[in-house]
Amino acid sequence: TQLLEQSPQFLSIQEGENLTVYCNSSSVFSSLQWYRQEPGEGPVLLVTVVTGGEVKKLKRLTFQFGDARKDSSLHITAAQPGDTGLYLCAGLRGATNKLIFGTGTLLAVQP
């Protein structure tokens, strides 16, 4: 059973377009991370959200944690080819420090 479902799985867009990636679960998380992974490299931590309803911005990227802390979204404004990569959400539950990773969204931004 996959606890964190991401949508869409694949996304190919043109430079300058906006997009939103969703990360959904029926479980509550104490915190949620977003990572970006480029080909041949390990995932890189982008942001951590902790409070229900929290919004964080990282340049053109906007991250939101759902009010009930069960879901999250990542919105990219005016996408650029450098945004290309695999986006992974990951949630922390309970007293463990083991992350539950989402299914991933592969984004390709065409110049």
Binding residues vs another protein (CB under 8 A): 30-31, 33, 35, 40-45, 48, 50, 88, 90-92, 96-99, 101, 103-104
CA dihedral 28, 53, 32, 71 (to 10 degrees): 60
Q: Which residue has the tokens 């991370």?
A: 33
In terms of CB distance, is 36 or 79 closer to another protein? 36
> Measured from the CB of residue 50, what is the shortest distance to another protein in angstroms?
6
Contact assessment for residue 24 and residue 4, using Cβ atoms and an 8 Å cutoff: yes
In the complex, least distance from residue 14 CB atom to another protein, rounded to whole angstroms: 25
